[in-house]
Amino acid sequence: MKKALLVFVATFASVSAFAQEAAITTDVGTVAFSAALAIAIAALGGTLGQAMAIRSGLDGIARNPAAQGKVFIPMLLGLALIESLVLFAFLIANTLAGAIVG
């Protein structure tokens, strides 16, 4: 196990020593594709996360209806936080799209 870890670290630590300088991409298609991919992945992840949160919350309420007050508010807070991550991704995608125009 230690040998494998040592080989892994040695392989990927030396890659940065031989790396080229980063090229600045001004290709409009690449930037547009990056923005579209970012918002698509964020929307998919946010949707799946919210669905799982709602499923778990409703499952807990169905098993113990008396705990509805203790489950419902944290579930709504969690949904808001998940949605905020999707909005951050939308902001980043719009920033990338703004690089295309201006």
Give pLDDT tens digits for 17-53. 665 666 665 677 787 888 888 889 999 999 999 999 9
20 occurs within a structural domain: no
Residue 12 resides in a domain = no
Report how many domains make up the chain.
1
3 lies in a domain? no
Instruction: Tell me the CATH number at 59.
Output: 1.20.20.10
CA dihedral 91, 92, 94, 99 (to 10 degrees): 150
Q: Is residue 13 part of a domain?
A: no
Q: Tell whether 72 is covered by a domain.
A: yes
Amino acid 51: pLDDT: 94
Q: Provide the phi-psi class of 27: left if phi over 0, else alpha when psi is between -120 and 50, else beta.
A: beta
Domain residues for the domain of 66 are 35-102
Between residues 22 and 94, the one the model is more confident about: 94
Cα 93 from chain centre: 12
98 belongs to a structural domain: yes
**Any domain includes 76:** yes
Q: Is the pTM of this model over 0.75?
A: no
